[in-house]
A and B are shown apart, each in its own frame.
Chain A
Amino acid sequence: MMKPDQPAPRDTVAQAADAQQEAEALAQLAQALESALTPRQPRESFATELRAQLVDESANAPLRLRNLSPRLQVAAALALATGCLLLMLRRLLGGNGGGELVEDTVPSSA
């Protein structure tokens, strides 16, 4: 004999069928996600360029500069401009910029 709070066998079967249906729907959704979200690859030129910028020391500077914070970029630009200005002033004021070669202090032979 059934207890009063025990679910009827028909309810249990219906619940199991619902659960089965839900599991199937979710499996179908997971499959749809797999076909929509596929691995992506970057452009070859981008990959090569970025690698060169990271690994090749001489190519690394522009990338580093581009990724500095705006405040640091302004500071770097100001430092560069000041440096150029000083060089120009030195030339204009006739400083000793002309290239007299300094003799090598290490003799080539005894």
Chain B
Amino acid sequence: MKNPFARQSDYAALDDAALVALAKSDRDAFGELYARYLDKMYSYVFYRTGNTHDAEDLTAKVFLRAFSHIGKYVDRGLPFQAWLYRIAHNLVANWHRDQSRRKIIALDEYLERDLQTEAPDQQADMRDEHDSLLRAVRRLPAERQQLLILKVVERLPNREIGIIMGRSEGAIKSLYHRTLLALRLDLGADPASERANRSSG
């Protein structure tokens, strides 16, 4: 008797390019791509929106859009995830355009929920530190936020980040350096950060 899970494991052995070719006419192949990239897309969208509700909504839209356009996808030798990140980036940009007021509330909601799991005595220090750092990250221009998420959260190499963002590897390196300098400058001017530095040092 044929093993019903045999096809699933076959898909897991395929590389992205082969899966994409199959996914044009095979939903299960798309299901494997979904399994590979769900967490990455969710993380990306979560840090760009700052709340679970919109992160889920936009993540669903990313995959729905990818699903409906995969028939027209042309493999030009770029990683499949670059295409997904670009879809996510465009959807997040539209979201920010439409809901500029919501992100302030969303960040507070994120900070409260994110720190609930820490021990109470560590909470205050961590809260100050993370709070000011995340606020500073959210004040950065969109492309610098994108760079930080891809580099720090996804740990992608500069070359791949360059492909996703349409820049050279050298340009990404330089942008990362300038982003860190800008963050440091911003944190120095943030009263919450100054308080945290004083208490720790």
Quick check: is B85 within 8 A (CB to CB) of the other chain?
no
Check B39 against A42 for contact (C-beta < 8 Å).
Answer: yes
Give the B interface residue count (CB, 8 A): 38
CB <8 Å contact, A29 and B180: yes
Return the chain B residue nearest A33 by Cβ: B152
Q: What are the interface flags for B13-54 relative to A under an 8 Å C-beta threshold, 1 for contact and 0 otherwise?
A: 000000000000001101100110011001100110000100
Tell me if B34 and A51 are in contact (CB < 8 A): yes
Contact A36 B134 (CB under 8 A): yes
Q: Min CB distance, B106 to chain A, in Å?
A: 14
**Does B82 count as interface, using CB distance less than 8 angstroms?**
no
Residues of B within 8 A of A56 (CB): 27
Cα separation A43 to B56 with both chains bound (whole Å) = 9
Cα A48 to Cα B52 in complex, Å, equals 16
Using Cβ atoms and an 8 Å threshold, which residues of chain B touch A41?
39, 42-43
Q: Is B148 an interface residue (CB 8 A)?
A: yes
A104 at the binding interface (Cβ < 8 Å): no
Determine the main DSSP class of B at the interface with A.
helix
**CB-CB contacts of A72-94 with B at 8 A, as 1s and 0s?**
00000000000000000000000
Contact between A33 and B133, CB atoms less than 8 A apart: yes
B6 to chain A, nearest CB (A): 17
Select which of B28, B42, B148, B181 is within 8 A of A40 by beta carbon: B42
Q: How many A-B residue pairs have CB under 8 A?
A: 85
Q: Is the CB of B149 within 8 A of A26?
A: no
Residues of A within 8 A of B55 (CB): 40, 42
Cα-based distance from A30 to B183 in the complex (angstroms): 10
Q: Does A34 contact B (CB under 8 A)?
A: yes
Interface size class of A (residues with CB under 8 A): 20 to 34
Q: Which of chain A's residues has its CB closest to B42's CB?
A: A42
User: Which of A42, A51, A53 is most buried by chain B, counting CB atoms within 10 A of its CB?
Assistant: A42
Cβ contacts A1-44/B at 8 Å (1 or 0 each): 00000000000000000000000011001101110111111110
Known A-B contacts A29-B180, A39-B153; the reply to A67 vs B34 at CB < 8 A is no
Contacts of B68 in A (CB 8 A): 64
Q: In the assembly, what is the distance between CA of A39 and CA of B28, in Å? A: 26
Cα separation A53 to B52 with both chains bound (whole Å): 19
Apart from the given pairs A54-B31, A54-B34, 9 other A-B contacts in the complex at a CB distance below 8 Å? A33-B183, A36-B130, A36-B133, A37-B153, A42-B56, A50-B34, A51-B31, A64-B64, A67-B64
12 of the cross-chain contacts (CB-CB < 8 Å) are: A26-B180, A29-B180, A29-B187, A30-B152, A30-B180, A36-B137, A38-B153, A40-B46, A40-B47, A40-B153, A50-B34, A54-B67
